[in-house]
Amino acid sequence: FGPPAAPPIHVLLVVPNDRKKPAPAFVGLNFCGNHTLVTDPSVALPACWMPRNCPGCTNNQATDAGRGKQEDVWALEQSIDRGYAVASFYMGDIEPDRPDAPEGIRAVYRNHDWGAIAAWAWGVSRAVDYLTKDKDIDAKRIAVVGHSRNGKAALVAAAFDERIALAIPLQAGCGGTSPSRGKIGESVQRINTSFPHWFNGQFKKFNEQPDRLPFDQHCLIALCAPRPVLLANALEDTWANPDGQFEMLQAADPVYRFLGAGGLEKSRTPEPGQLVDSTLGYYIRPGKHSMTRDDWKIFLDFADKHFGKAGIK
């Protein structure tokens, strides 16, 4: 995608074999390479830079030792069993998660003032370009999912790409689904200091006074209207400010109702383990900052509610 110098995107696409019609699909970025999602040796190792904390990573390069080490994170077989396809690709294909990376897409478009979050979201849209042309995929039922920083990118992708019919940002926190002007969890100053490459320079101007921001993250959620959005969280992940995320749903609710799309059907945060599956949805479970098989059951239940059951098994 893009000019010849642009990095290639390697999408891992898993589709139900016994489908009777095109399958709805989840699409999203993974943290450590497609090979970590499956044990299949035919899945190529990423050739680009990789964080040292990725399983099987040696000298910032992927190795065979990482194969299948994050199977539980994406739980591909659960989606397949429920009739959904899954498309995922390594975030580093688009933009390595480090400041001033010379090999990412931002280095190709140097005149554009964008951060890595926007670049990753752009990559999701490029994957959607392909999915909408694949005869095995239902182009009208594509959902984006992402965890943490990839959840931020998932929400940005959905906000600006109306081909994405449903968004599930999980524990996306500051700069994603929690209030930038909030007082709990990660602050604007902290995120811009720890990850200076994630956002463009304008966001940094509000490090000292986030209350001066002319908008907050409910506006990003509202840009997805009338399409469904589920915010998923964990009780121990206070850094992502789960209660503040619920407040962002409440603030986005009037836009959804104005468009006749329903909205948030709860006036207070639900009990842990209870899925609010209205058009603006919410879920919180016990546990920490992670994406798990149990989370995928919730994602699939939410997608079934709004897409209609895929009806494969």
Do 97 and 116 contact (CB within 8 A), yes or no?
A: yes
Residues whose CB falls within 8 Å of the CB of residue 281, separated by 6 or more in sequence, listed in order? 228, 229, 230, 231, 264, 275, 302
Burial class (CB in 10 A: 0-12, 13-18, 19+), 78: middle
Judge whether 180 counts as a catalytic residue: no
Residue among 13, 306, 7 nearest 132 (CA): 13
Distance CA 179, CA 67 (A): 37
Q: Which of 79, 88, 125, 148 is catalytic?
A: 148
Do 14 and 26 contact (CB within 8 A), yes or no?
A: no
Distance CA 237, CA 233 (A): 7
Q: Which of 10, 187, 289, 306 is catalytic?
A: 289
Judge whether 278 counts as a catalytic residue: no
Burial class (CB in 10 A: 0-12, 13-18, 19+), 114: middle
Residue 124 host element (H or E): helix 116-131
Distance CA 149, CA 55 (A): 18
Maximal C-alpha separation, the chain: 55
The token duo for 256 is 């959804």
Active site residues: 148, 289
